[in-house]
Amino acid sequence: MGGKRKGVLFTVLASLMFGLSPVFTKLVLDYANIETANVLLAAFASVFFLAYFLASKKTWHLLIIKSNWRKIGLLGLLDAAGSLLFAYGVLISGPTSAAFIIQFTTIFSILFGIVFLAERFSKWEILGVLTALGGLFFLACGNAQVELVSTVAVLTAALLFATVNLFSKYFVQNIPPFSLAGGRAFFIFLYLAGYALILGKLETAVPAAAVAYSVLGALTGMVLSFVFFFKALETWEISKTAALRTMEPFLTAVFSLALLSLAPTVNQLAGGALIVVGVAVLSLTREKTSRPKKETTDFEKPSQPVTGTLK
């Protein structure tokens, strides 16, 4: 199988996993509050990553996490706050709307690149941003009072996730992506568990169904999605991968209909389609306006020798 076909295959698999994630989040929220649901998802994601590190005998990931705990802890804090806001948006407006709006993570990431990394901004990219903003207007027009609150929550989550992307762009030069992902999962769990305990919102009597959906949500949205996405980046351009991933909210709409019996509204489809078109334009034109640079495909081995012992 050629590199392009592998890239498409892994991107589609990643999109399927990302598309399922909001649906499983909504299913968990049917049985638990927002704080408990996020703690469960982060807990199982941490377990999966830890099991992978131990089973594959790659415990040096844990050493890297330990030596870079400040950087990874910062990413975990931003991710934890974003996860709470995204879950709130899923609870209020449903997984479909939240999945469309969270696509603004890509827009914010590109804007951050322009502001902080001195990247160029073309006329096509301006058109992409305006198109996406038009889609956001359509989404928010469904139920102004409810949609406005959830829209702001998910947009803020997208802003936080884009900030994580910006910092990750710097940190990944010395920290392998699997170490970053696993470490972030660990810190997200610690932050969310502490937050829920302090506020007294951590539920102990959780139904078995919530646990099962949390396992599926963590496996699809925080583990397999990451693995497939980085496998796609090994063989395909990041701009084309990002453009193909715009299918994710439509997959979420299909999964919501099949698993939750939630049919998308006209406003959701119209607004979501505009957002996806805008993000796709941004992703594809970014390849033309960005400077070419040497890409790395080593997502496992650390760039520097790992020393130290685990305690």
**Residue 173 within any structural domain of the chain:** yes
For residue 303, being part of any structural domain is answered with no
Q: What is residue 179's predicted lDDT score, i.e. its pLDDT?
A: 87
Q: Enumerate residues 6+ apart whose C-beta is below 8 A from 253.
A: 96, 99, 264, 268, 269, 272
Element holding 259 (H helix, E strand): none
Considering the entire predicted model, what is its pTM?
0.81
In a domain, 306, yes or no: no
* Predicted local distance difference test score (pLDDT) of residue 24: 95
Long-range pairs, 164-169, Cβ under 8 A, ≥24: 164/75, 164/78, 164/79, 164/82, 165/105, 165/109, 165/112, 166/109, 166/112, 166/113, 166/116, 167/71, 167/74, 167/75, 167/78, 168/75, 169/117
Which pLDDT score is estimated for 286? 61
Domain assignment present for residue 280? The answer is: yes
Q: By the 8 A CB rule, do 220 and 21 touch?
A: yes
pLDDT tens for 264-292 read 877 777 888 888 888 777 767 665 555 44
Q: Domains in the chain: how many in total?
A: 1
pLDDT of residue 310: 43
Question: Is 297 a member of any domain?
Answer: no
In a domain, 304, yes or no: no
User: Residue ranges of the alpha helices (H) in the chain?
Assistant: 3-29, 34-55, 60-67, 69-93, 95-101, 104-116, 123-140, 144-171, 177-199, 208-218, 225-235, 238-244, 248-255, 266-289
Whether residue 37 contacts residue 28, with contact meaning beta carbons closer than 8 Å, is answered with yes
Beta-carbon count within 10 A of 303 CB: 11
Q: Are 257 and 307 in contact (CB under 8 A)?
A: no
Residue 65 falls within a domain, yes or no?
Answer: yes
CA 96, CA 118: separation in Å to the nearest integer?
34
- What digits encode the pLDDT tens for the residues 158-217? 999 989 877 887 787 788 878 888 898 999 999 999 999 999 999 989 999 999 999 999
- Cα–Cα distance, 200 to 297 (Å, whole number): 44
- Residue stretches of the chain with pLDDT short of 70: 1-3, 113, 117-121, 139-147, 233, 237-239, 283, 285-311
Predicted confidence at residue 117, as pLDDT, reads 61
Determine the Cα–Cα distance for residues 258 and 203; give it in Å rounded to an integer: 29
The pLDDT value given to residue 215: 96
Predicted local distance difference test score (pLDDT) of residue 265: 79
164 located within any domain:
yes
Range of the domain at 136: 3-289
